[in-house]
Amino acid sequence: MDRNESSGFSSEGGITCFDFCEKLNCLVTGCIDNSVKVWNPAENASCNEILTGHFNSVTHVLVDEKRLNVISADRDKTIRVWSLLRPQCLQTIKFKEGDFAGKNIFASLYLDKEYGKYHLS
């Protein structure tokens, strides 16, 4: 795709968040339909992979370029770690309703590349 060209991506219900993996040249989106979708903007505007397992809208996605993983968080207070190389869930972390007050507990998800640590606030 030429640098002056643009490409559109859409998901039924909408996209809530996104991140880009430069190493694999793919766009990762969190969606209202509870899925995480992986797109290759160079190939087409259709979704290459759909990662399912969340039971509520995905509010945050973060690509870990070093490990080629995606971390996703949803409105149901669940975090999932996915492999981009073989599209599957590697780990699920579920918080209990009483662990946090309020509905939207996740404000941001950050990867400290120097130390290889994830920060959730």
Q: How far is CA 26 from CA 40, 77, 84, in A?
A: 5, 26, 10
Tokens representing 10 are 């859409």
- Average pLDDT in the chain: 82
Do 1 and 9 contact (CB within 8 A), yes or no? no
The fold for domain 15-115 equals Neuraminidase (2.120.10)
pLDDT in tens, 43-79: 766 789 999 999 999 999 999 998 999 999 998 889 9
Q: What pLDDT score does 95 carry?
A: 77
Q: What pLDDT score does 103 carry?
A: 55
- 34 or 11, which is more confident: 34
Q: What pLDDT score does 94 carry?
A: 87
pLDDT in tens, 77-87: 899 999 999 98
